[in-house]
Amino acid sequence: MKFNDAVFGIFLIVFAIAEIIYTRTFPALHGQRFGASDFPVLIGVGLIICGCLLVVSGYKQRTASSPIEEAISKEPNLLTIAGWREKPRSVINFFVVIISILFYIFFVDALGFVITAFSILLVLFLRLQNGVVASFIAALFMTGVSKLLFGVWLLVPLPIGPLGF
């Protein structure tokens, strides 16, 4: 998933302007000209400069003159997903990982660590083309190891679900 540099440049410029405007609401130190806003403003200015240079570099990429570069510049435009398009399985796997993490964030308190971790592991092992039995055993094993290591040995208060684990 590759973006043209100009996309990053424009995003950085917009982000930096918003950041600077918001930062100006921070108060100065008592009796001083300086305060909490100075450093973030400097970062914002730096981002705007870099953003402008990225826009220029992105523009150059699109107006490339050599035939090869032209061919490339016609294809990527603002977003290139060439590598992904060839293999939809990879795209699904990518989003399965993201959704697994979101599932953990939203459901671990309600379901408890053991059920949540086991479900995520089982789905991922299966998605990555491991056998059903191997996936089940590996998911069970890894859930046990992480529960023992963090929950029992390191005393991390891992959430306990409705079944008591």
Partner 1 sequence: MDAFIGGLSLIFDPYVLMVMVGAAAFGLVVGSIPGLTATMATALLIPVTFFMDPVPAIAAIVTTVATAIFAGDIPGALLRIPGTPASAAYCDEAFAMTRKGKAQLALGVGLTTSIIGGLIGAVVLMMATSALAEFAFKFSSYEYFWLACLGLSSAVVVSSGSTLKGFVSLLIGLFIATIGIDLISGHPRFTFGSTEMLSGVSFIPAMIGMFAISEVLRFVAAKNNSRPKVPVQSLSNLFKGVGGVLYKYKFNVFRGSSIGAVTGVLPGAGADIAAWVSYGVSKRTSKEKEKYGTGHVEGLVDAGSANNAGLAGAWVPALVFGIPGDSVTAIAIGVLYMKGMNPGPMIFQENPQLLNAVFIAFFVANLLLLPLGYLAIRLSSQLLKIPARMLMPAILIFCLVGSFAITNSVFGVVIMLAMGVLAYIMEENGFPIAPTILGIVLGSMLEEMFLSSMIKADGELLAFFSRPIAATLGVLTILVWLIPIIKSLKSKYWKPQTP
Amino acid letter at 40? P
| Of residues 27-56, those binding partner 1 (CB under 8 A) | 27-29, 32-36, 38-40, 43, 46-47, 50, 53-54
Residue 144 binds to partner 1 (criterion: CB under 8 A)? no
Residue 19 binds to partner 1 (criterion: CB under 8 A)? yes
d(CA 125, CA 128): 5
Provide the minimum distance between the beta carbon of 71 and partner 1 in the complex, in angstroms, as a whole number: 20
> Cβ neighbours of residue 77 under 8 Å, at least 6 residues apart?
4, 62
Using CB under 8 A as the binding criterion, the count of chain residues that bind partner 1 stands at 69
Residue 160 binds to partner 1 (criterion: CB under 8 A)? no
Contact between residue 4 and residue 77 where contact means Cβ atoms under 8 Å apart: yes
Other beta carbons less than 10 A from residue 90's beta carbon: 12
Q: Strand 2-3 vs strand 79-80: parallel, antiparallel, or unpaired?
A: antiparallel
Instruction: Say which residue the tokens 């992480």 belong to.
Output: 146
Amino acid letter at 143? T
Residue 111 binds to partner 1 (criterion: CB under 8 A)? no
| Of residues 54-93, those binding partner 1 (CB under 8 A) | 54, 57, 83-84, 86-87, 90-91, 93
Contact between residue 23 and residue 41 where contact means Cβ atoms under 8 Å apart: yes
Footprint on this chain of partner 1 (rule: CB under 8 A): 1-3, 5, 8, 12, 19, 22-23, 26-29, 32-36, 38-40, 43, 46-47, 50, 53-54, 57, 83-84, 86-87, 90-91, 93-94, 96-98, 100-102, 104-105, 108-109, 113, 117, 120-121, 124-125, 127-130, 134, 138-139, 142-143, 146, 149-150, 154-158
